[in-house]
């Protein structure tokens, strides 16, 4: 079986709970460390699926790997190879598939409630879940590319997740672990301090205090999404 390719764009923004989920289900995966200068593959068919994690950069930045990733996403989409994006990853998917990424009205840093859309497609992905507390860390937002269906919204960001058939893009972070939250709070301390006037920004102390109660439910939602996404993966010979 070909592996699932996971693209890491920052040392602190790895695959988190998604990697734990794949490993628990004996699903092979391969990390491609963009942050360490590893080359972007040119042929999506080398993998069973492509997964893109978060990162502090903008998809609109002039970085040499971004055009290559956008081309790879289009290649996967054309070949019906499942795509999954987390935050920056969702923004990369949106830009590659015809959407745009712009500044969000406010920054969202920390825990915040998201609401599931009232649609048949949303029910397919989320089942009986109507709302939940997700983790957020972004200052930009994506538009819905052609053919996308909105799945999630929050009071401070209208487009929190969308699906295009088997492909899933998220602005919010369902992949979080305790270690990742602590790392982000340390690395992002200046960003938190500079944005505490935003109604959607929490202190590091609040983020870490709330994670003990909120992470178990977030992991349940994440696994619900990941299981449904895996249904789109057809066996591909290695």
Return the minimum-mean-pLDDT range out of 35-44, 49-58, 84-93, 226-235: 226-235
Q: Residue 1's pLDDT band (boundaries 50, 70, 90)?
A: confident
**pLDDT tens by residue, 148-174:** 999 999 999 999 999 999 999 999 999
Q: In angstroms, what CA-CA distances link 155 with 24, 106, 108, 167, 179? A: 34, 10, 10, 24, 27
Q: Give 2-21 pLDDT, tens digit per residue.
A: 999 999 999 999 999 999 99
For the segment 140-145, the average pLDDT, to the nearest whole number, is 98
Mean pLDDT of 190-217: 97
Q: Parse the chain into domains and list their residue ranges.
A: 4-230
CB within 8 Å of 210: residues ≥ 6 apart: 110, 111, 133, 202
Question: With 70 as the cut, is the pLDDT of residue 238 above it?
Answer: no
> 131 phi and psi, to 5 degrees?
-160, 160
CB of 223 within 8 A of CB of 216? no
pLDDT of residue 118: 97
Q: What is the CATH code of the structural domain delimited by 4-230?
A: 3.40.50.880
Q: What is the pTM of this model?
A: 0.96
Q: What is the pLDDT of residues 69-78, one digit of tens each?
A: 999 999 999 9
Helical (H) or strand (E) element with 118: none
Quote the pLDDT of residue 235: 58
Residue 236 pLDDT: 47
Which letter does DSSP use for residue 39 in this model?
Answer: P
Give, as one character, the DSSP assignment of residue 86: E
Distance CA 10, CA 155 (A): 28
Q: Which of these, 125, 120, 133, lies nearest to 202 by C-alpha position?
A: 133
């Amino acid at each position: 079986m070909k592996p699932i390719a996971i693209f890491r764009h920052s040392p602190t923004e790895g695959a988190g709970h998604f990697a734990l989920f794949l490993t628990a289900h004996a699903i092979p995966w391969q990390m491609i460390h963009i942050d360490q200068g590893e080359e972007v593959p040119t042929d999506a068919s080398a993998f069973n699926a492509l997964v893109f994690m978060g990162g502090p950069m903008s998809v609109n930045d002039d970085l040499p790997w971004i055009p290559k990733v956008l081309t790879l996403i289009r290649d996967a989409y054309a070949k019906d190879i499942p795509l999954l994006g987390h935050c920056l990853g969702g923004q990369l998917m949106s830009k590659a598939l015809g959407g745009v990424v712009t500044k969000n009205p406010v920054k969202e840093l920390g825990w915040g409630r998201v609401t599931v859309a009232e649609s048949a497609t949303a029910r397919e992905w989320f089942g009986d879940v109507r709302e939940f507390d997700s983790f957020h860390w972004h200052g930009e937002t994506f538009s819905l590319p052609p053919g996308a269906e909105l799945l999630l919204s929050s009071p401070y960001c209208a487009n929190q997740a969308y699906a295009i058939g088997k492909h899933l893009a998220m602005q919010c972070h369902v992949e979080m672990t305790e270690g990742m939250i602590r790392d982000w709070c340390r690395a992002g301390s200046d960003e938190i301090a500079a944005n505490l006037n935003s109604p959607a920004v929490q202190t590091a102390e609040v983020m870490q205090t709330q994670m003990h109660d909120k992470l178990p439910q977030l992991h349940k939602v994440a696994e619900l999404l990941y299981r449904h996404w895996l249904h789109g993966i057809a066996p591909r010979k290695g």
